[in-house]
Amino acid sequence: MTKRETFTLLALIAVYYEQFECTQQKIDSWFLVLKDYPLAQIEDNLLAYVAKSAYPPKLSELILKPAGTSRVIPNCDGTDDLLTVEQQPASEKVIQAELRNMREILGIKREETSCLTII
C-alpha cells in the first residue's frame, strides 16, 4: 500500500465515522504498518468492520490475523476432540516440584512430619 492509498483509506474511515480525524501524523503512522498489505484487502476488512461497529476501527482491527493465531472457542465436537486426546501425566517429581513452588509463592511453610502407623 502506498502513502496515497493510506490517505484514501483514512479519508474513507472519516466518511464512515465523523469523530475520526485524518491527520498527517496518522497517515504516516498507519502507512508504516499498512505498507505491506494490499489496499483491496484492507478496504474489504474495513467494510466488514463498518457493518458491525459504531466506533472507528483501530489499525489492528483492519489487519486480519493469519489463520491459527486467533483464539477460537471450540464447539461441542471440537471440545470432544480436545478431551479425548491422551496426555501423559506428570511424573511425581514434577508434581512435587510444582507444589513446592506454589507453597513458596503463597508463603505456606510445611513442616516435615513422619507418618506413624496406628495399630
pTM of the model: 0.54
The pLDDT score that the predictor gives to residue 12 is 95
One DSSP character per residue, 34-88 reads HTTS-HHHHHHHHHHHHTT-SSPPPHHHHSPPPTTSS-PPP-HHHHHHHHTS--P
The pLDDT score that the predictor gives to residue 110 is 77
**pLDDT tens, position by position, 46-84:** 999 999 999 999 999 999 765 555 567 777 877 777 777
Residue 33 pLDDT grade (very low, low, confident, very high; cuts 50, 70, 90): very high
Domains of the chain (ranges, CATH numbers)? 3-62 (1.10.8)
The pLDDT score that the predictor gives to residue 80 is 77
Residues 18-31 have a mean pLDDT of 94
Residue 38 pLDDT grade (very low, low, confident, very high; cuts 50, 70, 90): very high
Q: Which long-range contacts (CB under 8 A, 24 or more apart) does 108-116 make?
A: none
